[in-house]
Every structure is written in C-alpha cells, then in structure tokens.
Amino acid sequence: MNDSIKPTDSELEILQHIWEFGPSTVRQINEALSAKREIGYTTTLKLMQIMASKGILVVDKSERTHIYQAVLKQEETQQQLVDQFLEAAFGGSAKKLVMQVLGNKKPGKRELEEIKVLIAKLEGGES
C-alpha cells in the first residue's frame, strides 16, 4: 500500500464491502452502508468519487452503470494500518497489543486454535 494513501473510516467501510463482494456499483455500496446507518446515495457517490481521485478505487465507466474496484489490497492495507496503530498506541509492542485484545474480547475455541498454530509457527521460525 502506498504510504501516502491512508483511507478514512468511511473509506475503509466501502473498501471492506468491495474486498468481500468484489467490484461494485455505487447503489450496491449504498445499500450495504444503509443497512448499518442512514446514508444518502449522493453521499456514497461523492465518497467513492473522492476515493477514485485519491487512487483508492478505480472506476470502469464503459457501461451505463459505473463499476468501482479497489486498488488497495486488503492484506497490505490491514498490515499498514495495524503497524501504524501498533506504533502509535502501543509503542511498537506486539505483546501489549495482543494482551489488550485478548483481555478485551475472549476468543472462541477455533480462534484460540488458530492463534496457537500461529504461535507454534513463529516459535519454529516458520513464516
């Protein structure tokens, strides 16, 4: 992810939808956002146009209904945001972050198993 591109919370909400469902129209995004909170179509359109101008989205205008697609990759974006948050909120300490997260929300059995597998890989030097 380009270090100069930092999506806002509203932009991340749109990106989450596109990452999950693939290229989408403004109407599709607006309907998804409206299910969570009241937001007008023109507000969604403007947000997506801004995202396109910032290089976060690309728009295919070859059809009557424009299709927006994410430029930013989900994993890269999440990694950069976590790195920024880790540094700003926890002084770069992964231990402090993990302890806080696990203290705030008890993971389910499956999540705990996945965490154990990840720890085992890290201890074994695998990546």
Task: Give pLDDT tens digits for 38-83.
Answer: 999 999 999 999 999 999 999 999 989 999 999 999 999 999 999 9
Please compute, for residue 67, the number of CA atoms within 13 A of its CA located in the half-sphere on the CB side. Answer: 8
First vs last Cα of the chain: how many Å apart?
21
User: Please, what's the b/e burial string for 86-107 (b: 16 or more CB within 10 A of its CB; e: otherwise)?
Assistant: eeeeeeeeeeebeeeeeeeeee
Residues 74 and 97 in one domain: no
Cβ-proximal residues to 7 (8 Å cutoff; 6+ apart), any chain? 15, 51, 56, 72, 77
User: Averaged over 90-99, what is the pLDDT?
Assistant: 91
Residues 84 and 52 in one domain: yes
Closest to 47 measured CA to CA, from 79, 17, 92 = 17
Question: Residue 118's domain spans which residues?
Answer: 93-127
Q: Match 């972050």 to its residue by tokens.
A: 97
Residues 81 and 58 in one domain: yes
Residues 5 and 66 in one domain: yes
Residues 112 and 79 in one domain: no
pTM flag (> 0.95): no
State yes or no: pLDDT of 108 exceeds 70.
yes
Q: Match 């989900």 to its residue by tokens.
A: 74
- Confidence label for 4 from pLDDT (cuts 50, 70 and 90): low
Between CA 37 and CA 103 the distance in angstroms is 29
Residues 82 and 106 in one domain: no
Q: Which two three-digit tokens encode residue 69?
A: 């697609």
